């Protein structure tokens, strides 16, 4: 369900770890064509005072990459262990859409993988009691995305993958930009009565 969001993150240069039951490959961005020689030489010059960053020294990827790890929601510690091995360091962002019955245990097990203050995008199904939901990981700024079943554009059809990916992508942008915890809804939670 989040493959469009994962593809966007990969294109932006992120290392994305995808814990799920079934393997679903994510496209790797095509290399950009080499600029003309003069332009390339100018771009290769480093700014005055440049120092290698810790991430460059640690050998992180210059282009994005997606790694799948087989995982089951009912085994949260095992899932977190596999994700930790794939990450090889603290995560700077978590985007999670986990079934309600496993949400607290999975996010709780994965919290230790996050860098201090790393943002979280938590996707949940809309519905249930009309109270404002609280993020599971209170120590991290969280963009909560509540997903309805019907499109806001055309209330005669279900919410489509593009609408969903755009809403979650917007939440990722807000999270990475450092916005405070907030709640967003995409789609209607049930068909409108006419």
Domain membership flag for residue 192? no
pLDDT per position as a tens digit, 65-85: 888 888 898 999 999 999 999
The pLDDT tens digits for 112-170 are 999 999 999 999 988 766 567 889 999 999 999 998 888 888 877 888 888 888 999 99
Q: Cβ–Cβ contacts within 10 Å for residue 163, how many?
A: 18
Query: Is the predicted pLDDT of residue 59 greater than 60, yes or no?
Result: no
The total number of structural domains that make up the chain: 1
Residue 194 lies in a domain: no
pLDDT at residue 42 is higher than 60: no
pLDDT classification of 191: cutoffs 50, 70, 90: low
Which residues sit opposite 68 in a β-bridge? Answer: 18
Q: Structure tokens of 175?
A: 């999270």
Domain harbouring 149, CATH code: 3.40.50
Question: Is 61 a domain residue?
Answer: yes
Give me the domain span that covers residue 29: 3-186
Mean pLDDT of 95-101: 90
Cβ-contact 132, 108 below 8 angstroms = no
Please enumerate, as own/partner, the contacts of 49-54 that have beta carbons within 8 Å and a separation of 24 or more.
Answer: none
Predicted confidence band at 45 (pLDDT cuts at 50, 70, 90)?
very low
In a domain, 193, yes or no: no
């Amino acid at each position: 369900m989040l493959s469009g969001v994962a593809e966007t993150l990969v294109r932006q240069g992120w290392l994305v770890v995808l814990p799920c039951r079934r393997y679903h490959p994510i496209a790797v961005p095509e290399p950009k064509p080499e600029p003309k020689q003069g332009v390339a030489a100018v771009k290769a010059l480093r700014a005055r005072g440049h120092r290698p960053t810790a991430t460059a020294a640690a050998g992180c990827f210059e282009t994005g990459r997606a790694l799948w790890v087989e995982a089951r929601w009912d085994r949260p510690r095992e899932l977190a262990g596999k994700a930790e091995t794939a990450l090889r360091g603290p995560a700077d962002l978590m985007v999670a859409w986990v079934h309600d019955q496993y949400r607290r245990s999975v996010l709780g097990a994965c919290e230790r993988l996050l860098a201090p203050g790393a943002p979280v995008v938590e996707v949940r199904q809309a519905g249930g009691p009309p109270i404002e939901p609280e993020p599971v990981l209170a120590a991290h700024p969280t963009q909560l995305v509540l997903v309805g079943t019907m499109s806001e554009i055309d209330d005669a059809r279900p919410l489509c993958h593009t609408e969903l990916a755009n809403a979650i992508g917007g939440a990722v942008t807000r999270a990475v930009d450092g916005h405070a915890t907030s709640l967003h809804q995409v789609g209607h939670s049930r068909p409108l009565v006419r």
